[in-house]
Structure 1
Amino acid sequence: MRNVSDIIEQYLKNILQQSPDGVVELQRSELAEKFQCVPSQINYVISTRFTLEKGYLVESKRGGGGYIRIQRVELPSKEAIHVHIFRTVGMELDQASAEGIIYQLEEGRFITAREANLLRAAVARDVLNLKLPLRDEVRARLLKAMLIALLGK
């Protein structure tokens, strides 16, 4: 059985998919009421599963009329992906950010689930058993090289 966070995430992704402009505005309290949870549960889902690395822009306004705006950031072409990878990865890359990039590429169907699993395994901290900052430098170079090989030049 899936947990509440998974259900909330799937609900948000579904309404984002149905949105013609890829943007949705919600009220935290209404979502919490709908899923019978506390508003902090909504905050948790949004802050951990709707990150920029995973392809989402989130804007939040607190207060009485507050809202949460979630926008899906689409990667339109392979050229744009290459630019995105080089801007995002840089010279060093921590594991969470690497996994976010992999997630975004898998969600956008630029890589398969199998390729995503292989990439995640290759950049895992227990596989790259090196001291920081060397581990993050190796992870960045490794991920860039693998993605260029997968996505073509």
Structure 2
Amino acid sequence: MIAGPPDTSAQGSPGPTATNRAVIRAACAAFRAAIEETIPRPVGLDAFPKGACGDTCEMLADFLRSRSLGDPTYVTGLSEDHARSHAWLEIDDLIIDITADQFGDVEEQVIVTTDRSWHESRFPSVGRHRPAGLAHWDGLTHAEVEDYYSKLEKTLVFGVPS
């Protein structure tokens, strides 16, 4: 199991507990590592993480749900100048983002936090909130992404502690 450091922000807030946040972070790190190692990738993921936030969110939502780690919501945001958009997942008040490092001001590859400051400042025009996952998405490359997700699932070694 790939483990990441627990998220200690907002310990007393509602939503996932600190332990669950640590498990979610570890699952996200494992998922991102699988994407980085599994090639060739579909068109929407060929420059991962750049330009890959939407497809990644759909697959990551299915992965988290399949591991009973929550029911993610797909969230999109738009920059003030409308030149950039971004997508991430939310479970309750928890932001989950494994593609934010496509932007030059983020180094962290896996973000699991209740701190909304970066997302709200970079993408103040937060738009759609909808159920996340491949079943809720009808993108042009849907079949290709679904096939890729099947390959990822076979390579992922992640156990949720009981």
TM-score of the pair, normalised by structure 2: 0.25
* More relative contact order, 1 or 2 (CA 8 Å, 6+ apart): 2
Instruction: Kindly indicate which of the two structures has a greater share of residues assigned to helix.
Output: 1
Specify which structure has the higher proportion of strand.
2
**TM-score, normalised on structure 1?**
0.26
